[in-house]
Chains A and B, each alone.
Chain A
Amino acid sequence: MTSYFSNLPIIAILTPFLGAFLTALLGERKKLLIIEKCIPIATTFTSLTSLIFLIKPVLINKYIVTYWMGNWKPESQWAIGIGLEVDAFSLFIGLIIAAACFLSAVYSFRYMEEDNGLDKYYVLFQLLSASMIGFVLTGDVFNMYVMLEIMTFAAIALTSFRNHIYKSVEAGFKYIVIGSLGSSFILLGTALLYSQLHTLNIAQMAALLHGNYTPVSILALAFMLTGYAVKAFLVPCHTWPVDAHMAAPSSISMLLSGIMSKTGVYALVRILYMIYQSTGRPEMEFLIIFWGAVTMLVGITMAVVQTDFKRLLAFSSVSQIGYIMAGFGVGLSVNKGVAVVGTMGGLFHMLNHAAFKSLLFLCAGAVLHQTGTTDLNKLGGLSKKMPYTTAFFIIGTLSISGIPPFNGFVSKWLIYQATFEAGYAPVTIIALIASVLTLASLVKVIQSVFFGQLREEHKDVKEVPLTMRIPMMILSAICIFVGVFPHIVSKYLIEPAAFSIYNIGSYIDVMFGKGYAVKMFKETVSIPSMNYTLAGYWNPASWLILFVILLIALILFFSFGYKTTNSKVVDDLINTRYETFTGGEKESYNHLGENDMFWGMRQDFGRYFKFIKNAHSGVVNDYVLWVVTTCALVTIYLFTLM
């Protein structure tokens, strides 16, 4: 129990905190800037390696690591101190967070060159990474709240980092108001639970709450659901990330959009599956699935009409979180076979979404860095100057739409199957429509930004430097690898995590000693292994055949150039042979950008789009009203049905 790996979680959390303080001490001196840039890379790398060392005991040997801070072990089966408890689900999310923070640190090495006050940026960045890792590794509800607050305030400060731009300050203000509202709800819920149960440890709460809900605990559930819904941006609490992800520097947008939302989902899963043990309750299943479906639809409808690159990506993030919540909602179903598929779909989509959304935001950052604008109406034709960025963005687009060789297909397929088998066929239909709309909005971005015709003022744009390309390359490689070998990823990462979500007996046992939980959780839920039939169609023979097909296709591509005639006709009179066809007119700039794409569809559904667009009024008071309304509705729903 006290072997080397019980110290690893605390190392993973503390190292970035220490790095933050060290960077703050070094201050803003020009000569020390290079050291300050390397410190976050070193600290996030340390966290990542310590979490990687934890893979063997936790994921492979199915062991749960605990660490009591200050060595305050539980007295007579009552937890007093703060406990860090790492099971497979925590480690799964922790790995995603640590890897993303490391890649973001590498990316911001060159990305943030033109800003000043960089020491403050790195301090805040390391606080953000440390608190995110701390949030998922802790086993104490109030500690989660503390880490959440550190995370929120670091994120707020980083959102308004470029405070000479009006948009950043406004985004930060909205984030403070709505984020604090969410945090207050969480604090209220935590306090209510503490007053009811007199303990703050998750494992002990699960043991004490087993099966008997008092009205106070139901109210606490409603508050905590709303609070964490604000963090995980479910509709209608989804209005803050739109501005925040647009205004933040891109290396931070990637963390906010791709990773911080996962911490909100993690907390929701912990509350629903572990503390309140709602598996097998159809009313909770309906609530979460309904919430997920609404989020999917509203998120992607707004994304189709956006005119700013990063805002569009933020709205599509909102929509993908809806997929994840629908997956976890099915996981609450009574039918265990279906429930497990749903949970695995939700987990897989968390991993995939982190990968491809980070990739898309990094490409957006590259475009912003080189051209200075992200307005879709002012860009065009950048694929000739930035070929790598275009290629990575296309890989990201294909992943997010769920096209087969890439990773989005596997997780989306699991979610479709889960929702259909659980009997929620309308949700499957909505999910498929949202998938096509996602493809449409990203094709709009590709046409407006990368393909098309180059503007005059962007003639001297160059490709981004190598340090910025490396994180993008790694993320694309992950997308392709996870898409082609989903069974490997599933066997080592997803299945242990799903197992630990359902079988919480061992989580409780580790804290209290053996035998405590057995009398409560008698049966273990087995997780089926994902062989190739489950994930669709990738078995090795098919892959070989596909490779042969591709080879033949490439041979066709290269060698079939039957050149024809030798007669040099007089078409070289005006050298217009290689211009685009314009009906004979002289070639001029006629780029069709964002405004003109899907014009007919936007006209036809004009009333619907206008209604949703006007609902997002931009006034903070409206948004706060929505959050409070959500809380009220959830409370009423839970009280009538539980």
Chain B
Amino acid sequence: MLDKIIEKSRIKSPWIYHVNAGSCNGCDIELIALLGPRFDVERFGVKLTGTPKHADIVFVTGPVTAQTKDRMLRVISQVPDPKVIVSLGSCPMSCNVFKGSYSVVGPLDKWVPVDVSIGGCPPKPEAMIDGLIKALDILKEKRGVK
């Protein structure tokens, strides 16, 4: 019975952490705006945490630059399981306009397994919320029992 409660709670309370891997800050601002009064993802139980060790869902923005690659990997490795990695915006999907630059080392799924991708530059807030719901579904599937 405890398992059922835990499973339900996992969907109802996703805590997010946000990593900026070289982005232009457009998607970051949109993400923070989601927590404001107009779009209010807090009604889904979402909370922005200050440290990756408290987080369930990791949002990564920006094409992965050479300087941020190591740091992003270190931070993501410190997120406890079960976790979902969401790439936000078109930059992590395909490097967008920065493709081929000397400092960009490639789209995100070259380095970490990405579960949900949200496209757009920046994505609409409704699209971001849609991606968040999809992430919740994937989180539900990543169940794990003792």
Query: Which residues of A does B touch, CB under 8 Å?
Result: 561-567, 569-577, 579, 581, 583-586
Contact = CB atoms under 8 A, between A and B. Distances in A.
B4 interface: no
B54 to A, nearest CB: 10
A570 B112 contact: yes
B52 interface: yes
A199 B113 CA distance: 94
A594 to B, nearest CB: 25
B99 interface: no
B52 A581 contact: yes
Interface stretch (B27-35, B37-45, B71-79, B121-129): B71-79
B75 A583 contact: yes
Contacts of B142: 564-565, 567
B73 A562 contact: no
A584 B82 contact: no
A569 B81 contact: yes
A577 B6 contact: no
A579 B113 contact: no
Given A563-B144, A563-B146, A574 B73 contact: yes
Nearest to A582: B74
Contact of B74 (A562, A570, A572, A584): A584
Of the listed residues B75, B76, B77, the one surrounded by the most CB atoms of chain A closer than 10 A to its CB is B77
Nearest to B6: A562
Contacts, number: 68
Contacts of A567: 81-82, 142
A579 B6 CA distance: 27
B134 interface: no
11 contacts: A563-B145, A564-B145, A570-B111, A571-B79, A573-B77, A574-B77, A577-B77, A577-B78, A581-B53, A583-B71, A584-B74
A581 B51 contact: yes
Nearest to A573: B73
A562 B145 contact: yes
Which 5 A-B residue pairs are closest in the complex by CB-CB distance? A584-B71, A564-B144, A571-B77, A565-B144, A576-B74
Interface of B: 6, 51-53, 68, 70-79, 81-83, 111-113, 142-146
B78 A564 contact: no
Given A564-B145, A565-B143, A574-B70, 12 more contacts: A564-B82, A564-B142, A565-B142, A567-B142, A571-B79, A573-B77, A576-B74, A581-B52, A581-B75, A583-B75, A584-B72, A585-B74
A579 B73 CA distance: 13
Contacts of B73: 571, 573-574, 576
B113 to A, nearest CB: 6
Nearest to B85: A569
A569 B83 CA distance: 9
A579 B70 CA distance: 14
Nearest to B75: A584
Nearest to A581: B51
Taking each of B71, B75, B78, B83, which has the highest tally of chain A beta carbons within 10 Å of its own beta carbon?
Answer: B78
The listed residue with most A CB atoms (<10 A of its CB), out of B70, B111, B143, is: B70
Contacts of B146: 561-563
Contacts of B74: 574, 576, 579, 584-586
B71 A585 contact: yes
Contacts of B53: 581
B76 A571 contact: yes
A576 B78 contact: yes
Given A562-B146, A564-B144, A565-B144, A581 B78 contact: yes
A564 B72 CA distance: 23
Contacts of A566: 144
A562 B83 CA distance: 15
B116 to A, nearest CB: 15
Most chain-B Cβ atoms within 10 A of its Cβ — which of A564, A566, A570?
A564
Contacts of A571: 73, 76-79
A565 B78 contact: no
A562 B71 CA distance: 29
Contacts of A579: 74, 78
Nearest to A578: B78
B77 A564 contact: no
Contacts of B6: 562
A581 B71 CA distance: 11
B81 A565 contact: yes
A561 B51 CA distance: 22
B114 to A, nearest CB: 11
Nearest to B79: A571
Please indicate which of the listed interface residues B53, B71, B74, B143 has the most CB atoms of chain A within 10 Å of its own CB.
Answer: B74
Nearest to A568: B81
A564 B68 CA distance: 29
Contacts of A585: 71, 74
A579 to B, nearest CB: 7
B77 A576 contact: yes
B58 to A, nearest CB: 11
Nearest to A580: B78
B113 A570 contact: yes
Nearest to B52: A581
Nearest to A584: B71
Contacts of A577: 77-78
Contacts of B77: 571-577
A587 to B, nearest CB: 9
A565 B140 CA distance: 11
A568 to B, nearest CB: 9
A571 B53 CA distance: 13
Contacts of A565: 81-82, 142-144
B6 to A, nearest CB: 7
A450 B45 CA distance: 39
A407 B70 CA distance: 51
Contacts of B76: 571
B60 to A, nearest CB: 12
B141 to A, nearest CB: 10
Contacts of A562: 6, 145-146
Nearest to B80: A564
A438 B73 CA distance: 43
